[in-house]
Amino acid sequence: MKKRIAQFEKVSFTRFMCDMLDVGNWTAEELSEMHDNIKLPTRATNGSAGYDFYAPFDINGAEWDGKVMPTGIRCKIDGDYFLMIMPRSGLGFKYGLALSNTVGIIDSDYYKAVNEGHIKAKFKADDTSYHIKAGDRFMQGIFMPYGITDDDDVTADRTGGFGSTGN
């Protein structure tokens, strides 16, 4: 049996609503329904390395290309691991879909950030004609171990959200 090192959760409705209203215009009822229907990431098979993320709303490539997309998901991760996220490979092959920052790294202390550790993605594509329906798998995350150097003496704690380390 593999060691269990993480736990996916939904962000609060308030956090989801704030982040969604930053990128679009939805009614409170639409946002509530989206939040209620958020599906936590899962593996498709026993041998899958990646946990599939499900779209919380319809994603039209031309509309969402270059925008930060909230997933409604956060993840509590053991301190010796991080979550690496990337688009599903089929979307990369077919549309050239990639994360704008090439690969997403979700640190274990991101869970405690002021934004509740809300995992977001920003995509770019060679072909923006893609359409992902709410509930479709669109991104995957893989948990990876990491090490530190012998002389590492970092004691600082994270306070900010996405892109805040080192600021």
Q: 154 in a domain, yes or no?
A: no
Q: 56 in a domain, yes or no?
A: yes
pLDDT of residue 163: 53
Q: 110 in a domain, yes or no?
A: yes
* 136 vs 91: CA distance, rounded Å: 12
Q: 94 in a domain, yes or no?
A: yes
Strands 51-54 and 137-145 come out as antiparallel
Displacement of CA 94 from its chain's centroid (Å): 21
Q: Provide the CATH number for the domain around residue 14.
A: 2.70.40.10
* 65: pLDDT strictly greater than 70: yes
Q: 126 in a domain, yes or no?
A: yes
* 158: pLDDT strictly greater than 70: no
Residues contacting residue 88 through CB under 8 Å, at least 6 positions apart: 52, 137, 138, 139, 140
* 85 vs 20: CA distance, rounded Å: 20
Q: 10 in a domain, yes or no?
A: yes
Structure tokens at 39: 């599906």
pLDDT tens readout for residues 3-24: 899 999 999 999 999 999 998 8
pLDDT of residue 79: 87
Residues spanned by the domain of 73 = 6-145
* 106: pLDDT strictly greater than 90: yes
Q: 96 in a domain, yes or no?
A: yes
* 44 vs 64: CA distance, rounded Å: 26
| Number of domains comprising the chain | 1
The DSSP letter of residue 111 is: G
* 154: pLDDT strictly greater than 70: yes
* 163 vs 107: CA distance, rounded Å: 11
* 43 vs 97: CA distance, rounded Å: 21
pLDDT of residue 138: 96
Q: 95 in a domain, yes or no?
A: yes
